[in-house]
């Protein structure tokens, strides 16, 4: 009896599982699917929702090669088979073949897009498979096939195909050169029209990038219209961010509709389809009393915007496959503080800027790069602080940096307190300290660029 083990193959994502089979004078027993043990050994936690069994009376029954739009976990309940798997996805491994003879002592995890086939080697063979999506006529339209006897594959079937039992459909599938590649799953970006969404779309050119007009968190029916079977991860860069307007009656309702109710629906969709969810958070979930905030600090929001972001974070954390990426003082292509200060500097205006709110800038290209890093490296799920690095500064310090880089004197920036700046204005409360601790994201192998270097480059553009 072998120990439980999970082994990689030459096809990326295709895994062979050695199953311990316990036998005595009554027969045998095995744990065919054991989530905790198998995922601990590296098997994806693929979330099966349906089990199918194919019973074959005779030796030589041959089925496949089919690639379906879901992952499969195949095994043998009784009898023996010769299994063959062909990578039908786009890429350098397309057409690669793996074959295994197996009985009850083995199972194979087959990722979406890899063609599956088998030939029975014993009578009364029961072939079972778990899948992580329900069969439907719509799903069948995404199947892709390849011919069992295609010479380009070179599969040496134990029983020659001319003596095997095949369906008419399996006999008439195209050869690999004429076969349609399996449709890949792609990352979905919500909020693609905003500053961060634009940077994410540039960092992930193959992603599905949807602006608010196509997918609005405040209108859950627009999310339901998405074909989630084609999504391998979702990045939520959409949010209600009008901090001051959120304090009004109408703004409060819109903030809660987008940042909480809409996020709840998104979490439910991610859980239902078992896909990782990246959610962008904010320093406004804290009151700013601590000078530096780490990922474990309890929520303490001051205003409505921060309250809705904290509530959204709590909802996202209920789905185990989540990344909460907390950032602050975002700068990208569009309306932002740096762009405003540059405009004032160029027009010869000398502004008064708040000098008692402290933090770091976060350039969207670096936030996007950090999110891509988390997804590509499959970092442990959880919350990650992500801003640019460098010393903590006030808004007035940053404004002076902008003026200096634009050829103006730093002294042209006046410095005022938050109270002075807000006198006579309808303003939401702001955290006085927004600096985020970058130790965790750095430990994951991502080193955020220095904020001053990014500012210089941003203004040079």
For all residues of the chain together, what is the average pLDDT? Answer: 95
Q: In which band, very low, low, confident or very high, does the pLDDT at 128 lie, cut at 50, 70 and 90?
A: very high
This prediction has a pTM of 0.87
Q: Which residues make Cβ contacts (< 8 Å) with residue 233, sequence separation at least 6?
A: 187, 188, 275, 276, 277, 278, 375
Q: pLDDT tens digits for 287-318?
A: 999 999 999 999 999 999 999 999 999 999 99
Q: pLDDT tens digits for 35-90?
A: 999 999 999 999 899 999 999 999 999 999 999 999 999 999 999 999 999 999 99
Q: Does domain 5-178 have CATH number 3.55.10.10?
A: no
DSSP 455: H
Q: pLDDT tens digits for 242-289?
A: 999 999 999 999 999 999 999 999 999 999 999 999 999 999 999 999
**Which of these is catalytic: 66, 173, 293, 358?**
66
Mean pLDDT computed over 435-459: 97
Domain with CATH 2.60.120.10 in the chain: 5-178
**Which of these is catalytic: 118, 127, 129, 305?**
129
Domain with CATH 3.40.50.720 in the chain: 186-460
Q: Residue-wise over 341-352: b if at least 16 C-beta within 10 A, else e?
A: bbebbeeeeeee
Q: pLDDT tens digits for 131-156?
A: 998 888 877 888 999 999 999 999 99
**pLDDT at 2 > cutoff 80:** no
For residue 66, indicate whether it is catalytic.
yes
Q: Which residues make Cβ contacts (< 8 Å) with residue 395, sequence separation at least 6?
A: 337, 353, 354, 355, 357
DSSP states of 120-162 as a string?
Answer: ESSSSEEEEEEESS---HHHHTT-EE--TT-TTT----SS-GG
Question: How far is it, in rounded angstroms, from Cα 456 to Cα 226?
Answer: 40
Q: Does domain 186-460 have CATH number 3.40.50.720?
A: yes
Q: pLDDT tens digits for 390-418?
A: 999 999 999 999 999 999 999 999 999 99
Give the per-residue pLDDT at 163: 95
**pLDDT at 184 > cutoff 90:** no
Least confident window among 179-188, 242-251, 336-345: 179-188
């Amino acid at each position: 009896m072998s120990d439980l083990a999970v082994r990689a193959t030459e096809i990326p994502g295709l895994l062979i599982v050695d199953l311990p089979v316990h036998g005595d004078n009554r027969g045998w027993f095995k744990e065919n699917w054991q989530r905790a043990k198998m995922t601990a050994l590296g098997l994806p936690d693929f979330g099966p929702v349906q089990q199918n069994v194919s019973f074959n009376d005779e030796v030589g029954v041959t089925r496949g090669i089919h690639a379906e739009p879901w992952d499969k976990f195949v095994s043998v309940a009784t009898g023996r088979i010769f299994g063959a798997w062909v990578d039908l996805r786009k890429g350098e491994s397309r057409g690669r073949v793996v074959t295994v003879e197996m009985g009850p002592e083995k199972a194979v995890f087959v990722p979406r897009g890899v063609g599956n086939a088998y030939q029975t080697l014993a009578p009364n063979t029961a072939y079972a498979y778990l899948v992580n999506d329900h069969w439907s006529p719509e799903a069948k339209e995404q199947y892709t096939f390849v011919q069992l006897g295609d010479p380009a594959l070179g599969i040496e079937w134990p029983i020659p195909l001319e003596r095997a039992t095949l369906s008419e459909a399996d006999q008439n599938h195209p050869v690999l050169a004429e076969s349609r590649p399996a449709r890949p799953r792609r990352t979905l970006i919500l909020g693609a029209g905003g500053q961060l969404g634009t940077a994410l779309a540039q960092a992930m050119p193959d992603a599905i990038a949807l602006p608010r007009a196509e997918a609005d968190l405040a209108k859950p029916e627009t999310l339901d219209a998405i074909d989630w079977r084609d999504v391998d991860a979702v990045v939520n860069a959409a949010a209600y961010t009008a901090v001051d307007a959120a304090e009004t009656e109408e703004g409060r309702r819109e903030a809660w509709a987008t940042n909480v109710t809409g996020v709840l629906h998104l979490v439910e969709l991610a859980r239902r389809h078992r896909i990782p969810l990246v959610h962008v958070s904010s320093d406004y979930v804290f009151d700013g009393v601590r000078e530096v905030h780490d990922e474990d600090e309890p929520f303490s929001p001051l205003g409505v915007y921060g309250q809705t972001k904290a509530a959204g974070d709590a909802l996202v954390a209920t789905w185990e496959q989540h990344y909460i990426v907390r950032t602050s003082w975002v700068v990208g292509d569009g309306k932002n503080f740096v762009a405003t200060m540059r405009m004032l500097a160029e027009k010869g205006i000398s502004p008064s800027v708040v000098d008692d709110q402290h933090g770091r800038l976060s350039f969207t290209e670096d936030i996007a790069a950090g999110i891509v890093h988390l997804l590509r490296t499959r970092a442990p799920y959880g919350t990650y602080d992500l801003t640019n690095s460098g010393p903590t500064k006030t808004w007035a310090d940053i404004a002076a940096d902008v003026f200096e880089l634009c050829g103006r004197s730093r002294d042209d920036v006046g410095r005022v307190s938050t109270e002075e700046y807000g006198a006579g204005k309808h303003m939401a409360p702001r955290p006085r300290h927004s600096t985020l601790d970058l130790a965790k994201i750095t430990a994951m192998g991502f080193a955020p660029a220095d904020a001053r270097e990014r500012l210089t480059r941003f203004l040079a553009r």
